[in-house]
Chains A and B, each alone.
Chain A
């Protein structure tokens, strides 16, 4: 059994996962069970970061991946954001960067930002 701390929510349930069968014990919800299984077989993460934005009240706009991507892609994926520049206005959910390394997961805007005068 592998001991895993669930990171799905701040409760931090302590899971025991069977590496062979993928069976999970100690989870508080269905998402935790899925996380425990994946963490042993194919660990993934949701990434949050920021990109440049022109014409808004601040020079940075927060973004996140709209799904989890394989953990080993995390550091490579954030480097893609260096070349992204958005232009205000943007709306929460707008795509900032499409299809990260063929995963089908996008970076999306997490804060609506109006054009600033």
Chain B
């Protein structure tokens, strides 16, 4: 069986990729989804705040998902639910298995990788102490509480101030639990500011910055945790211990793009993002294989995942219909203060009016400039009043500026405006 475009994953990126592919002439599109339903993580994200950029209205996660599921239903898109993609190959074959279809090898004109990400767990951050029950990643707790109808605990400490952790602090409070503290090792929060306000401050939940859990105590169930202040090198400071009696610890300590299929196909991965290295049209190092959404780099807003998914789907359809790209390549690299720019590669002649570049900043900046450098030469500057590491930045570089690059490397860097004057 051959499809124009096969999309791995039916979450927001995959659904948008299907729309993008159909809008650009793909006649046969297949979405492979391992869950029993489309929508991905949106289905358990019952809070609102989705869709303001894309739909210009405020939706909850399930509402946002349902809109896209309804859109895709009206398109020539085939959907394989409860189906696991086992392998993708560099010549664009997809091997998958399901209880109804058995083992299948499918061929694709182009593939879009939309597998999303998963949570870092306790093992990834090595918390010392006992190994009792009552320790969950925030997303697992979210699934239990919002979908399966299980309450995970009564007295809760949250480690990490990522958005899912903050959202769960409010959620557990609304369900009658007592959230004692949200503990963050960094000197700043890792979540969106609005979530600090409406999830912690609204419910008087204290946020301990520059603190971490140094011990978990409990025989069968969590009984208490010890929280300590950390110094500038994130080492716990003896004598600063605070004890919390609690039965549950929720971890919100970061997300990891889920790139097992990508790695197995030897597609180049960027260590800074954990996702594939991509060109301006979201094509990976293997021609005809594209990537979008949290599998490419972890986003904070689903609206931007949707945009990216549509772009990848559109580019995949064009590839499948025979439009292959080449030409002079500019490398995009991170300079001081910048982490993980995407795309990493730009084929100049394929840029229409402008090229968007996404990245995160390393620190909190007030009144700063983002500079695009070509060697020592500043090609362009973007002013920002406020930037924080937890919020993704986007700059839109005009083609006319890109044309001026003499070298084959663009370096992004952040300078505060005070420094500039000094």
**Hey, which bits of chain A sit against chain B, CB under 8 A?**
5-10, 12, 14, 45-50, 52, 57-60, 62, 64, 71, 74-75, 78, 92, 110-112
Contacts of A58 in B (CB 8 A): 147-149
A49, B46: Cβ atoms under 8 Å? yes
Question: Contact between B301 and A48 (Cβ–Cβ < 8 Å)?
Answer: no
Residue of B nearest to A26 (CB): B385
Residues of A within 8 A of B63 (CB): 92, 110-111
Contact check, B46 vs A12: say whether CB atoms are below 8 A apart: no
Contact B49 A52 (CB under 8 A): no
**Across the interface, which residues of B come within 8 angstroms of A111, CB to CB?**
43, 62-63, 65-66
Number of interface residues of B (CB under 8 A): 33
Partner of B58 from the list A8, A52, A62 (CB cut-off 8 Å) is: A8
Those of B44-88 within 8 Å (CB) of chain A: 46-49, 52-53, 58, 60, 62-63, 65-66
Smallest CB gap from A51: residue in B: B149
- Min Cβ gap B35→A in Å is 11
The yes or no answer to B174 lying at the interface (CB within 8 A) is: yes
User: Which chain A residues border B48 with CB–CB below 8 Å?
Assistant: 46, 48, 64
The answer to whether B174 touches A49 (Cβ under 8 A) is: yes
The listed residue (A7, A50, A57) touching B198 by CB distance below 8 A is A7
- Jot down 16 A-B pairs with beta carbons below 8 A, ordered by A: A5-B194, A8-B52, A8-B58, A10-B52, A12-B391, A14-B386, A46-B58, A48-B47, A48-B60, A49-B174, A50-B149, A60-B146, A60-B148, A74-B174, A78-B175, A92-B62
Known contacts A8-B58, A59-B148; is-contact A45 B52 (Cβ 8 Å): no
Bound CA span A7–B143, Å: 24
Could you tell me if B386 and A110 are in contact, using CB atoms closer than 8 angstroms? no
Nearest-CB residue, chain B, relative to A62: B46
Query: If A47-B174, A64-B60, A92-B66 touch, does A10 touch B49 (CB 8 Å cutoff)?
Result: yes
Measured between beta carbons, the chain A residues less than 8 angstroms from B52 are 8-10
Task: Give the contacting residue for B174; candidates A9, A14, A52, A78; CB below 8 A.
Answer: A78
Complex-state Cα separation, A78 to B193, whole angstroms: 24
Q: Which residues of A contact B146 (CB under 8 A)?
A: 50, 60, 62
Q: Which chain A positions have C-beta within 8 A of B145?
A: 50
Cβ-defined contact, B62 with A62, below 8 A: yes
CA distance A52 to B202 in the complex (A): 26
What A residues does B37 contact at CB under 8 A?
57
A107 CB → nearest B CB, Å: 12
Which of B49, B149, B175 interacts with A9 by CB under 8 Å?
B49
Q: Which residue of A lies closest to B67 (CB)?
A: A92
Minimum Cβ distance to chain A for residue B390 (Å): 10
Distance in angstroms between the alpha carbons of A4 and B372 in the assembled complex: 33
Q: A71 to B197, alpha carbons, bound, how many Å?
A: 13
Q: List the 9 closest A-B pairs by CB distance, nearest first.
A: A111-B62, A12-B193, A62-B46, A59-B149, A9-B52, A7-B194, A110-B60, A12-B194, A60-B149
Q: Interface 1/0s, chain B 398-416, versus A by CB < 8 A?
A: 0000000000000000000
A12 vs B199: C-alpha distance when bound (angstroms): 13
Residue of A9, A14, A92, A112 ringed by the most chain B CB atoms within 10 A = A9
Inter-chain CA distance A71–B53, complex, in Å, is 25
A2 to B399, CA, bound (A): 42
Interface 0/1 of B263-282, CB less than 8 Å to A: 00000000000000000000
Does B223 sit within 8 A of A, measured CB to CB? Answer: no
Q: Is B393 an interface residue (CB 8 A)?
A: no
Would you call B374 an interface residue if the criterion is a C-beta within 8 Å of the partner chain's C-beta atoms? no
**Which residues in B have their C-beta under 8 angstroms from that of A47?**
174
Tell me, in angstroms, the Cα distance from A12 to B194 when the chains sit together.
Answer: 5
How long is the Cα–Cα vector from A59 to B144 in the complex, in angstroms? 11
Write out the residue numbers on chain A whose beta carbons fall within 8 Å of the beta carbon of B300. Answer: 10
Partner of A50, one of B46, B66, B196, B301: B46
Does the CB pair B192–A10 fall under 8 Å? yes
A74 to B58, CA, bound (A): 19
Whole-angstrom distance between the Cβ of B79 and the nearest chain A Cβ: 16
CB distance from B387 to the nearest CB of A (A): 12
- When distances are taken between beta carbons in the complex, the residues of chain A under 8 Å from B47 are 48
CA distance A49 to B148 in the complex (A): 13
Encoded as 1 (CB less than 8 Å from any A CB) or 0, chain B from 145 to 176 comes to: 11111000000000000000000000000110
Q: Is the beta-carbon distance between B46 and A9 smaller than 8 angstroms? A: no
Residue of B nearest to A75 (CB): B174
Assembled-state Cα–Cα distance A5/B391 (Å): 15
Q: How far is the CB of B40 from chain A (nearest CB, A)?
A: 14
Quick check: A6 and B194 within 8 Å, CB to CB?
yes
Complex Cα distance, B49 from A59, in Å, reads 24
In whole Å, how far is B268's beta carbon from the nearest beta carbon of chain A?
A: 31
Q: How far is the CB of A35 from chain B (nearest CB, A)?
A: 10
Give bound CA distance, A46 to B48, whole Å.
Answer: 8
